[in-house]
Structure 1
Amino acid sequence: MESQFLFATGIENSNPTIDHGKTRVDELEKCGFYKYWQTDFQCVEDLGIRFLRYGPPIFKTWLGVDKYDWEFCDQTFADLRRRNITPIVDLCHFGVPDWLGNFQNLDFNKLFPAYCKAFAQRYPWVQLYTPVNEMYICAEFSALYGWWNEQLATDQAFVTALKNIVKANVQAMHAILEVRPDALFIQSESSEYFHAENPSAIKPAEILNAKRFLSLDLNYGRRVDSEMYEYLTDNGMTRDEYHFFLENNLKHQCIMGNDYYRTNEHRVRDDGSTTASGEIFGYHVITTQYHDRYQLPVMHTETNLWQGPKGDEAVNWLWKEWANVMRVRNDGVPILGFTWYSLTDQVDWDTALRENHGTVNPLGLYDLQRKIRPVGEAYKKLISQWSAVLPAQSACLQIPLVPINDTGKPYVAALQDKARESQESYQAQITNSEQPDNH
């Protein structure tokens, strides 16, 4: 069983649509992954990284109801397994296939679980999943800010997208567990904080600081704050829809992934509008808030910074984030891993993928010519120095991590039987427990 700290990177597989669905922003294509994927996996190996956030491009793989094209997926996942790189599989990253439209289509939560189950059946050696990446951000950018996909900007559209996305994620977890009962789910979600600019902004900031938890509250079956309950129901969520989340959560199979960038903290004006505040609290303080709320093992699942004019800006940010991770750990929070995101520079990240300029953003461990950046060298050194001295962290998980090439061994089958019994017991507790409505 795996016991090492999860040092990771990611290969960005975002694919939202812009221009009202006419343009697909395929970050794998923009970053040259389809051409250089073998080189990219070699880069991961060269860094000493054994965990990789990566998933197939959903719009090229999921072609219709029960229709899939696994050719490219078979190639890439076979190579990852050969290299003994454990994937954290990112199955939906900000976009859906054209035939599904966008996140206002409630068929998404009905059909997506079947796609996830089909993936799990084809690759039974995969244990770690992020079914839907950054659920809150996906709903916000698609249906509240009007940037991607449906490009709507109303509270009702946002609530529709949010409930659709989170329900799809919950049902996908159930579907994957039918195939791999010891699967573990890492919810990569943006960790935010909103600072009141003046006394009149305190109430708007409080609302935004409650709202930031909505996706994880629903996903983990936690009762939302009363003001958020009114917000959800005022904007189209029914009581039955809300109670689905209370009664079907799989919190005990989850690791809470917290993404943190310098843009994750905001100043709030008295009219509720926001502007970037820069880093004030930092990862340590904000992640502690999230852990206090959900009491789950934690993983730092995304961060980066541009390599600036001095050439050491990203290196210094890496050190600062790692210091925050160590502070979280030393405070007693079970933190399992750290991720620099992503492996290579990205394209149009600076406009959150909503404008198609082709601008290369120098924030990867490697540039797009696959030449290592200073932060790549620094991360490689960090991994080599800390891997041997960090104690095993899997003790905080009810379900242990299994080496990818041990799938099918007798001890793994026994673990999976135990995991299945645990699920049945947990679900029975939820079903039998009283759920008084306090709202």
Structure 2
Amino acid sequence: MTHFLFATGIENSAPTLQGGRVRVDQMRDCGHDEHYELDFDLAVELGVNALRYGPPLHRSFVGPGRYDWSFADATFRALRRRGLTVIADLCHFGVPDWIGSFQNPDFPELFAGYAGAFARRYPWVQLYTPVNEMYICALFSGKYGWWNEGLTTDRGFVTALKHLVRANVLAMRTILEVRPDALFMQSESTEHFHARVPEVLAQEAFLNELRFLSLDLNYGRDVSASMLEYLLDHGLTRQEYAFFRAQRLTPHCVMGNDYYVTNEHCVFPDGRLEPSGDMFGYALITREYHRRYRLPVMHTETNAPQGRRGTEAADWLTKQWANVLKIRNDGVPVVGFTWYSLTDQVDWDTALRERNLRPYPVGLYDLDRRIRPVGTAYRELITAWRDVLPAQSVALTLPLTPAPTNPSCSPPPR
């Protein structure tokens, strides 16, 4: 079975703030815990055939080798009844309190155990994002001081990054032991940096290499000499680098890339970075990433807030879809597109740095589960294109295996 993936997502991000004293929990704060059956019905109503979704890690991973699958059992049973393809999102910006933070060197092996337990319990799930946006998570937690460990150093960033990527790699390996045909959609932020003045060209070049680090390590690609020097100077060991270079998991991978209007940045002489708007845009930057990794591509996240006119988000959807069609026509193998998320989020206006419970109008539905204009536009887009793309190009299809239905694939007892 092959088809183009028209997707949305329900975010399960859960970073901590204020030294771990405050936990952000998007599923709880956006009402999904209480309304998951309705949310899944809304996804079906839109016509999407895939959903980025996973249980909140901090609630389901309760100790070493100990798991609470009660919420996951209920929600994944409901998803399977509806026939939605799940892209399982297992770690989204946070870890359980007992692990602490992404500075913990035990995190990769612990998480791989969790991923294996998940795969054994839900063997019908084929598509995975083991660790979401590794670069962004390491940057915000280890370098900007916004989340989790709250560090503001290059060593904090490199340490978080190497643990996040190692966790992702070990999870892929473990999942493949359970389901050898698993496919991994590595949702990662698609970035670009623009020098504002000639004096910052060297810094621009550095940042435009740094943005690739998570995927370079994840896919076993050699980094440049300057990046290797940076990594070794700030906590990566030669043995750890050898581990990443030895990885050969790309045959199981789709490069998922996320693009928002804030993903391009102006670099200023005083070191400041400011959003530049979509100066290059999704198509041009995705071609850069595709030339580097030569993997199939999925646009795994985008959105824009609904503004005063009421059409701003729908206009952004039109623009992103045009970019997807453009790179498809240029020969980039695109297998799917995602508007993220299904509903509005809370506190995205502060990048989850504060827990104000303030709605941010980026969803296909608002938090009262009323459809937004962009939701109507996405439903119409799916209706128009879903039967055309697979017939036009095999580069736009993804091989999927029907979920096993025999009794031996039922979840084991808790």
TM-score after normalising by structure 2: 0.96
**Which residue of structure 2 aligns with residue 33 of structure 1?**
32
Residue 28 to residue 345, structure 1, CA distance change in 2 (3 Å): same
C-alpha displacement at 1:407, in angstroms? Answer: 5.4
1:295 and 1:104 map into 2 onto residues whose CA distance is: 31
**Which residue of structure 2 aligns with residue 417 of structure 1?**
none
**Does structure 2 conserve the Cα–Cα contact (< 8 Å) formed by 1:14 and 1:95?**
yes
Residue 234 to residue 398, structure 1, CA distance change in 2 (3 Å): farther
1:154 paired with 2:153, answer yes
- Counterparts of 1:332-411 in structure 2, within 5 Å, are 332-391=331-390, 395=394, 400-404=399-403, 406=404
Secondary structure at the counterpart of residue 245 of structure 2: helix
**Does structure 1 conserve the Cα–Cα contact (< 8 Å) formed by 2:4 and 2:397?**
no
What RMSD, in angstroms, separates the aligned Cα atoms of the two structures? 1.5
**Which residue of structure 2 aligns with residue 259 of structure 1?**
258
1:163 and 1:249 map into 2 onto residues whose CA distance is: 17
**Which residue of structure 2 aligns with residue 312 of structure 1?**
311
**Which residue of structure 2 aligns with residue 98 of structure 1?**
97
Residue 407 to residue 216, structure 1, CA distance change in 2 (3 Å): farther
**Which residue of structure 1 aligns with residue 172 of structure 2?**
173
Task: Give the counterpart letter for 1:342 in structure 2.
Answer: S
Length, aligned pairs only: 407
Query: Over residues 87-119 of structure 1, what are the superposed CA-to-partner deviations in whole Å (9 max), with x where a residue is unaligned?
Result: 100000000000000000010011110100000
Task: Give the counterpart letter for 1:92 in structure 2.
Answer: C
Moved more, 385-394 or 124-133: 385-394
C-alpha displacement at 1:76, in angstroms? Answer: 0.4
**Which residue of structure 2 aligns with residue 185 of structure 1?**
184
**Does structure 1 conserve the Cα–Cα contact (< 8 Å) formed by 2:17 and 2:24?**
yes
Residue 407 to residue 195, structure 1, CA distance change in 2 (3 Å): farther
**Does structure 2 conserve the Cα–Cα contact (< 8 Å) formed by 1:252 and 1:398?**
no
1:368 and 1:400 map into 2 onto residues whose CA distance is: 34
**Does structure 2 conserve the Cα–Cα contact (< 8 Å) formed by 1:4 and 1:392?**
no
Structure 2: runs of 5+ lacking an equivalent: 408-414
Moved more, 242-251 or 329-338: 242-251
Query: Over residues 307-348 of structure 1, what are the superposed CA-to-partner deviations in whole Å (9 max), with x where a residue is unaligned?
Result: 100000001000000000000100000000000000000000
Query: Over residues 342-378 of structure 1, what are the superposed CA-to-partner deviations in whole Å (9 max), with x where a residue is unaligned?
Result: 0000000111101111111011000000000000000
Secondary structure at the counterpart of residue 187 of structure 2: strand
Residue 385 to residue 297, structure 1, CA distance change in 2 (3 Å): same
Secondary structure at the counterpart of residue 384 of structure 2: helix
**Does structure 1 conserve the Cα–Cα contact (< 8 Å) formed by 2:305 and 2:313?**
yes
Structure 1: runs of 5+ lacking an equivalent: 410-439
1:323 and 1:23 map into 2 onto residues whose CA distance is: 40
**Which residue of structure 2 aligns with residue 420 of structure 1?**
none
Task: Give the counterpart letter for 1:298 in structure 2.
Answer: V
Task: Give the counterpart letter for 2:328 in structure 1.
Answer: R
**Does structure 2 conserve the Cα–Cα contact (< 8 Å) formed by 1:204 and 1:270?**
no
Secondary structure at the counterpart of residue 3 of structure 2: coil
**Does structure 2 conserve the Cα–Cα contact (< 8 Å) formed by 1:221 and 1:248?**
yes
1:233 paired with 2:219, answer no
**Does structure 2 conserve the Cα–Cα contact (< 8 Å) formed by 1:188 and 1:256?**
yes
Secondary structure at the counterpart of residue 131 of structure 1: strand
Query: Over residues 57-78 of structure 1, what are the superposed CA-to-partner deviations in whole Å (9 max), with x where a residue is unaligned?
Result: 1011000111001111001001
Secondary structure at the counterpart of residue 257 of structure 1: strand
1:270 paired with 2:269, answer yes
C-alpha displacement at 1:248, in angstroms? Answer: 2.3
TM-score after normalising by structure 1: 0.91
Task: Give the counterpart letter for 1:381 in structure 2.
Answer: E
C-alpha displacement at 1:270, in angstroms? Answer: 2.5
Task: Give the counterpart letter for 1:99 in structure 2.
Answer: W
Query: Over residues 163-212 of structure 1, what are the superposed CA-to-partner deviations in whole Å (9 max), with x where a residue is unaligned?
Result: 00000000000000000000000000000000000111111000000000
Moved more, 128-137 or 388-397: 388-397
**Which residue of structure 1 aligns with residue 21 of structure 2?**
22
1:310 and 1:182 map into 2 onto residues whose CA distance is: 46
2:253 and 2:14 map into 1 onto residues whose CA distance is: 25
1:172 and 1:393 map into 2 onto residues whose CA distance is: 35
**Which residue of structure 2 aligns with residue 419 of structure 1?**
none
Secondary structure at the counterpart of residue 148 of structure 2: coil
1:52 and 1:156 map into 2 onto residues whose CA distance is: 35
Moved more, 248-257 or 214-223: 248-257
1:105 and 1:191 map into 2 onto residues whose CA distance is: 27
1:312 and 1:193 map into 2 onto residues whose CA distance is: 27
C-alpha displacement at 1:393, in angstroms? Answer: 8.7
Task: Give the counterpart letter for 2:160 in structure 1.
Answer: A
Secondary structure at the counterpart of residue 339 of structure 1: strand
